């Protein structure tokens, strides 16, 4: 089972590439035999009305694991749960992986997040929340997450379901660079980390990938990748199929290691 967690200002529809089904993570994974689930993170989708009840990390981690557990009552977990996340969804994914329950995960995939903001994005990340929303859809944000234009198919941004962000996410953004190292050090499952070669929210490049990999000191295996032709929204760009196939290949490798005697 692959459980996918979306980033900020969108919903779980992010992983279905509404305007371009060939680029859909969910459809690609299902066609290859994986059980695919994309969750609306706490404070998004159906839980948006109850965001004030999710003020602590423990609340959000508990809710996420409860949702996964509910799905598992009706579906086979196979050899285990693969957790993947994009952008601000990586905060929850790492909190889940660092939790005691995270020891049962098969692996963790995080993408579109980093340790140091790109110079052009730093000021925007520090902007305060206003009425529970960040300025996610303004020109400055579009410049960060949807450019260069040639990386994305026509209509990709317009087809994406947008959402306001819950209030706690502002604290997650501002505190991320301080909390990332401690969370990463508590992850004890294999990790794959990816940034697009045109990432404009976070500092990217080989040095950045190496820096992030070193944070996962307790992980038995850490794989890094710079996705060619990838911008911030890796699952919506023209290179999404290539990215998803690499993610699923890593998931299959981890599944094989767990199901093989001595693996």
**Nearest by Cα to 241 from 255, 227, 252:** 227
Q: Are 34 and 244 in contact (CB under 8 A)?
A: no
Q: What is the pLDDT of residue 173?
A: 86
Q: Are 209 and 46 in contact (CB under 8 A)?
A: no
Query: Which residues touch 15 (CB under 8 Å, ≥6 apart)?
Result: 4, 6, 24, 25, 26, 38, 235
**In this predicted structure, which of 26-30, 160-164, 180-184, 203-207 has the lowest mean pLDDT?**
160-164
- Tell me the sheet residues that pair with 196: 227
Query: Which residues touch 179 (CB under 8 Å, ≥6 apart)?
Result: 91
pLDDT at 210 over 90: yes
- State how far the Cα of 120 lies from the Cα of 124, in Å rounded to an integer: 8
Start-to-end C-alpha separation, the chain:
19
Query: pTM to 2 decimals?
Result: 0.92
Task: Please state the separation of Cα 184 from the chain's center in Å.
Answer: 14
Categorize the per-residue pLDDT at 7 as very low, low, confident or very high, splitting at 50, 70 and 90: very high
Q: What's the CATH fold of domain 2-258?
A: Rossmann fold (3.40.50)
Categorize the per-residue pLDDT at 195 as very low, low, confident or very high, splitting at 50, 70 and 90: very high
Categorize the per-residue pLDDT at 261 as very low, low, confident or very high, splitting at 50, 70 and 90: confident
């Amino acid at each position: 089972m692959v459980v996918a967690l979306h980033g900020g200002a969108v919903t779980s529809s992010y992983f279905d590439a509404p305007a371009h089904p060939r680029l859909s993570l969910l459809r690609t994974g299902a066609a290859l035999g994986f059980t695919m689930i994309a969750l609306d993170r706490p404070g998004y989708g159906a839980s948006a009305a109850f965001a004030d009840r999710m003020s602590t990390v423990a609340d959000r981690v508990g809710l996420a694991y409860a949702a996964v557990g509910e799905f598992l009552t009706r579906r086979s977990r196979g050899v285990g749960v693969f957790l993947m996340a994009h952008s601000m969804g990586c905060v929850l994914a790492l909190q889940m992986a660092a939790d005691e329950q995270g020891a049962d995960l098969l692996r963790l995939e995080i993408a579109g997040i980093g340790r140091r903001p790109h110079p052009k994005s730093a000021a925007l990340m520090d902007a305060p929340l206003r009425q529970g929303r960040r300025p996610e859809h303004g020109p400055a944000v579009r410049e960060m997450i949807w450019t260069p234009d040639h990386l994305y198919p026509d209509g990709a941004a317009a087809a994406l379901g947008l959402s306001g962000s819950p209030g706690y996410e502002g604290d997650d953004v501002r505190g991320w660079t301080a909390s990332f190292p401690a969370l990463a050090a508590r992850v004890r499952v294999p990790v794959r980390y990816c940034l697009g070669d045109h990432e404009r929210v976070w500092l990217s490049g080989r040095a950045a990938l190496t820096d992030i990999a070193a944070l996962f000191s307790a992980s038995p295996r850490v794989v890094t990748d710079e996705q060619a032709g990838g911008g911030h929204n890796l699952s919506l760009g023209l290179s999404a199929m290539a990215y998803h196939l690499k993610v699923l290949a890593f998931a299959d490798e981890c599944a094989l290691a767990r199901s093989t005697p001595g693996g």
